[in-house]
Amino acid sequence: MTITVTRSGGFTSAVTLAAQGVPTGVTATFTPASVPAGSTSATLSLSVPSTATPGVSAITIVGSAAGMTNKQVTMAMTITPAPVGGFAIALNPATLSIQQGQTGVSAVTITRTAPFAGAVNLVLDGAPTGVTASFNPNPIAAGGTTSTVTISVTDRLAPLSLTVTAIPPPIPINLSCNTEATAIWLGFQDGDGPWQQIVGVNGTYSVGFTANRGAIAYVRSITGTVTTYDVALVYATRAEFVDWAPQASAMWQPHKTLTGTVAGVAAGDYFHVAVGDGEAQILPGGGSNVVISRATTGARDLVAGRLHTNVPLQPADLILRRGTDYPAGSVIPVLDFASGEPFASELKTATIVAAAGDVLNLWSDLITANQTAGYLPTAVPTSNIGLFPTVPSARMVAGDVCNLWASATSFDGASRREVVNTFVAPADQTLTLGGRLTEPTVFTLTARRSIRCG
């Protein structure tokens, strides 16, 4: 990437470049590190290791020079999961006619798809008694592409179908836990095979899939004010698990406490701030201090919103900081809603269908690509048509989604219905509620003794 320096006002000196907010493991290198006088550009190279966590981060490029105020520009960096690769298998000929007591030979060819370059084992499926097979070589070594299968027939048989199956080495899927989120039990199913329990090593669980699909299940305990338990069963393809594992591990990472203040406060303002799983809110008249007690570690987005509760139909103001990684116990930079950092949300119309006269509520949130759930302050609707805030398309990045929720509660509180729409581009939404549940009739049975004769 080319970094361009534009000087003005008679300034001609060198400008030193630095990168902030670079994800863990990623290396940022400027060439040259200092743009000399008379030069206007440098090249930024980002080196991403295979162990880097997929997600979106905001990298801030800072330019500094003696006697001058630092200048900065922010870029979004998306780390995508490394491709899994694969291979195809072919036989030539694919059909053999073999006399009893004789053998038949077919050539096996493997065509790999990058980045997979490993060895491949071969097996013959569907062979009845009297039919055997040998492969030469087996496995087909890394770099090799061919083998020969020799099939021997000792009994007289009707025509049958045999399958040569190529089995790649297991692809490891790693899940990491910590002292706050501990896996009590974790197991996996390779294809349609039996379930196998995995024992973790230092909080890391390695699952090896040979089939193209499978399942992972776990039971984990989450330690907080009280201990809770989480049970999950996930079915996916092998490639989907490669993408899923970093996200699952991110949810198992330790939490931290962050503090901060909100500026630009007006009477009647409501605030909400989220970093990863952690969130905090300030009710109108509740001051300006925020404490986020369960912020997720690692590079996470910060989403903050302000709603003027005493100014109807005004869009919420939002602050979105990508890829923040504030140290545990630190004070986050001031969330100043009177500065140039906030931007206005985009108001859209929500139409709630089948409200049936119930009390309505409406709320929306932003789920960012690196697992921050930020509430977008929403005014309570006065009818079945209301306004809700969305994030402008120009502020969204790949992987971000918005949710719009609506609920309907009967006046006696006996019935509550909810519906959610998920979308990316800001647009008006229609939310159709399901019908009210019929309250069951409860009968009380009186116990009585039965008389036994005999």
Give CA angle at 362 (437, 228), nearest 5°: 70
| Single-letter code of the amino acid located at 180 | E
Among 80, 86, 112, 251, residue whose Cα is nearest residue 171? 86
CA–CA gap between residue 36 and residue 12 (Å, rounded): 9
Q: What is the pTM of this model?
A: 0.56
Asked if 355 and 283 count as a contact pair (C-beta separation under 8 A), the reply is no
| Single-letter code of the amino acid located at 376 | L
Q: What pLDDT is recorded for position 259?
A: 95
CA–CA gap between residue 27 and residue 375 (Å, rounded): 33
Asked if 353 and 280 count as a contact pair (C-beta separation under 8 A), the reply is no
Token representation of residue 111: 């065509």
Q: Which residues fall within 8 angstroms of residue 149, CB to CB, at 6 or more apart?
A: 91, 105, 106, 108, 122, 124, 133, 134, 135, 164
| Single-letter code of the amino acid located at 203 | G
Residues shown for the chain: 454
Q: What pLDDT is recorded for position 119?
A: 85
* 3 state DSSP class of 393: helix
Asked if 364 and 402 count as a contact pair (C-beta separation under 8 A), the reply is yes
Q: H-helix or E-strand containing 348? A: strand 346-353
Please state the domain extents for the chain: 2-79, 86-167, 171-251, 255-432
pLDDT in tens, the chain (454 residues): 899 999 998 899 999 999 987 887 889 999 999 999 999 999 999 998 877 777 677 788 989 998 888 888 878 788 877 666 778 899 999 888 888 888 999 999 999 888 778 888 888 887 888 888 899 998 898 889 999 999 998 876 677 777 877 766 666 666 666 666 678 888 999 888 899 998 887 777 888 777 778 899 988 887 766 788 888 899 988 778 877 776 676 666 677 899 999 998 888 889 999 998 889 999 888 889 999 988 887 778 999 999 887 766 677 899 999 888 888 899 999 999 998 899 999 999 999 998 888 899 999 999 888 778 888 878 778 788 988 999 999 898 888 889 999 999 988 888 889 999 999 999 999 999 988 877 777 776 665 555 554 4
Superfamily of domain 86-167: ntegrin, alpha v. Chain A, domain 3 (2.60.40.1510)
Pairing of strands 278-282, 429-432: unpaired
CA–CA gap between residue 86 and residue 178 (Å, rounded): 32
Q: How far is CA 91 from the centre of its chain?
A: 40
| Single-letter code of the amino acid located at 393 | S
